[in-house]
A = this chain, B = another copy of it.
Amino acid sequence: MEETDKLNAFFNPRSAAIIGATKKVDKAGNVIFKNFAYNKTRGVFKGEIYPVNPNAESILGFKCYPSITEIPGELDLIVIVVPAKVVPTIMEDAVAKKVKTAIIITSGFREIGKIELEQQIVATAKKAGIRILGPNCLGVYYQKTGVDTLFLPETKVLTTGDEVIATPRPLVGDIAIVTQSGAFGVAALDFLAGRQIGISKFVSFGNKSDVTESEMMHYLLYDNETKVILLYVEDIKYGRKFLRIAKEVTLKKPIIALKAGRSVAGARAAASHTGAIAGSDKIYDAAFEQTGVIRAADMEEFFDMGKALAMQPPALGNNIGILTDAGGPGIMAVDECESGGLSVNRFSEETLRKFQKLKDEGVLPKFAATSNPVDLTGSVTDDMFEVAADLMFQDPAVHGIVLLGLHHLPALREKYIDSVAQVSSKYSKPIVMCDIGETEMALYTRFRFDKLGIPSFPSPEDAARAMKALVNYGAYLKKNNCAEEYISEFLKKKRGS
């Protein structure tokens, strides 16, 4: 585990130097140093921080050094924001200083054909065992220790003089983001922040001259704060290593992959972006399937699947119960389940009888459809959702529930949200939900479900696709005889938290 120890210095450095720190507002070296300074003064970053710049005495009140070799004491992390041609000299200094890890933000290497320059730096670093993240990357964001090497400030001032949120940092949560593309990475942060989905760690590795996605996944396997890994890649380095590590990780933690450069033109674009050599897309499909990595078809599915797997246990079978108060959206969810390989079978005779009894007793509307999907119709009340969900969970042939709680119907209030969450906590089967709408009550409903650990989605198809991820991951775990163990661990953590 020595290598994992090394990678640890990227996230938990006792000291960090920002090489290229500057007072010039909005420059990368300014934003990054400011992130550290802010986190240091507020007691979040507990180590030492050092701005490095030969042309300044001090920056934001911190003593500035002309070179890292002048810094007293040990250096765990250096963040490099100087031009590419200077980086080899910096790396020689780093060797002399025996630093542990280096994040190279600077671009202008392999991605524009300067392969030798990149190789030279890596070779130098190797002499002293320095691990490198990048170059051409955004580096690390980890709220807990205050490491934030994102050069994109949280707010931006428009030409009107108005200050607006531009690159928000999301809440603390249990999804790790590991991304080759920095721009996609910050877009992901913006998306997750707005949807109030929390992250455990963020790593953008760019040209991955040294640390690869595989090593990072291996590190995250042992990271207690990470439940799910979201991996964006344009190519994968060292295929065998990836297969070996991915196989190990997915037995314990789901990995969702968004692999860009699927098409011919896309692969060409990837080559000029991060120097990626994508290869045939079918090979990736096979590799992911073999290792239990769940491949997302697009950006939304990527986040949706991550959210579902972070919040809910996987399903132990592929037959889904659909519970709705809106006929049309219910049908849309059924369609998407079936086209994704899930089943929406008619309930067992026993369950049908139980539903009939509830209708006869006036607990559910007389004309409610109850053979799966269950359609509570426009007469739905808060209590009906609770009762129907409980009954569906009880059916051993139902492996998971997609709930469509459209808030528009007159007698439905918000009370059902908490009671459905209560019911679902009695079972070890997954449930996901959808409410459609982009105004007040839809947003409230979805956020409240999320808060109670039931992932919410804005369309029936999104919810069905999220359920598909829970089914597929469950099937993979079952095949490898570790589903029961995973689920019991998962629920222990969920209920403990």
* Chain A interfacial positions (CB closer than 8 Å to B): 26, 28, 31, 107-108, 112, 151-153, 156, 158-160, 164-168, 179-188, 190-191, 193-195, 232, 234, 258, 260-266, 269-270, 272-274, 298-300, 322, 325-332, 334-339, 343-345, 367, 369, 371-373, 375, 377-378, 406-411, 413-415, 436-442, 444, 458-462
State how many angstroms separate the Cβ of A258 from the closest Cβ of chain B: 8
Q: Are A436 and B262 in contact, CB atoms less than 8 angstroms apart?
A: no
Q: Is the CB of A327 within 8 A of B183?
A: yes
| Complex: A164 Cα to B441 Cα, angstroms | 6
Bound complex: CA A378 to CA B331 (Å)? 44
Question: Closest 9 A-B residue pairs measured CB to CB?
Answer: A194-B438, A181-B328, A190-B437, A183-B326, A184-B328, A263-B338, A187-B436, A273-B327, A165-B440
Determine the residue in chain B with the shortest Cβ distance to A324. B183
Closest B residue by C-beta to A192: B438
A112, B107: Cα distance in complex, Å: 66
- Which residues on B sit within 8 Å (CB–CB) of A377? 107
* Contact, CB under 8 Å: B269 / A180: no
Roughly how many angstroms separate A360 CA and B286 CA in the complex, as a whole number? 44
A283, chain B: closest CB distance, angstroms: 16
Complex-state Cα separation, A49 to B55, whole angstroms: 80
Main secondary structure of the interface of A (DSSP, over half): mixed
User: Would B334 and A166 count as touching, CB distance under 8 A?
Assistant: no
By beta carbon, the residue of chain B nearest A410 is: B26
Copies per assembly: 2
Q: Decide if A459 touches B152 in the complex (CB within 8 Å).
A: no
A156 touches B265 (CB 8 A): no
A104 to chain B, nearest CB (A): 15
**Residue contact B334 to A190, C-beta cutoff 8 Å:** no
A194/B406 contact (C-beta < 8 A), A187-B326, A273-B369 known: no
Q: How far is the CB of A386 from chain B (nearest CB, A)?
A: 14
CA distance A410 to B190 in the complex (A): 15
Q: Which residue of B lies closest to A167 (CB)?
A: B408
Find chain B residues with CB under 8 A from A165 CB: 439-441
Interface contact B329-A436, CB-CB below 8 Å: no
A167 neighbours in B (Cβ, 8 Å):
408
Given A158-B414, A194-B442, A442-B194, also A459-B331 (CB < 8 A): no
Contacting pair A183 B378 (CB below 8 A): yes
Report B-chain residues with C-beta under 8 Å of the C-beta of A260: 328, 331-332, 335
Residues A300 and B461 in contact in the complex (CB < 8 Å), given A261-B331, A327-B274, A338-B265: yes
A339: which B residues are within 8 A, CB to CB? 262-263
Known: A26-B410, A156-B441, A265-B337. 7 other contacts (CB 8 A): A166-B407, A168-B439, A185-B328, A187-B437, A272-B369, A272-B371, A273-B330
Contact residue among B187, B337, B345, B375 (Cβ-Cβ distance under 8 Å from A408): B187
A410 close to B151 (CB less than 8 A)? yes
Residue in B367, B410, B444 whose beta carbon sits within 8 Å of that of A108 in the complex? B367
Contact of A328 among B234, B407, B439 (CB under 8 A): B234
Note all chain B residues with C-beta closer than 8 A to A264: 338
Q: Closest B-chain residue to A273, C-beta based?
A: B327
In the docked arrangement, what's the CA distance between A108 and B187, Å? Answer: 48
Give the docked Cα–Cα distance between A142 and B157 (Å).
40
Query: What are 12 A-B pairs at a CB distance below 8 A?
Result: A158-B413, A159-B413, A165-B439, A167-B408, A190-B408, A191-B458, A234-B331, A260-B332, A262-B335, A266-B331, A273-B375, A274-B327
Q: By the criterion CB–CB under 8 Å, are A232 and B299 in contact?
A: no
List the B side residues contacting A459 at CB < 8 Å.
298-300
- Kindly identify which residue among B273, B415, B437 contacts A159, using a CB–CB cutoff of 8 Å: B415
Please tell me if the beta carbons of A180 and B328 are within 8 angstroms of each other in the complex. yes
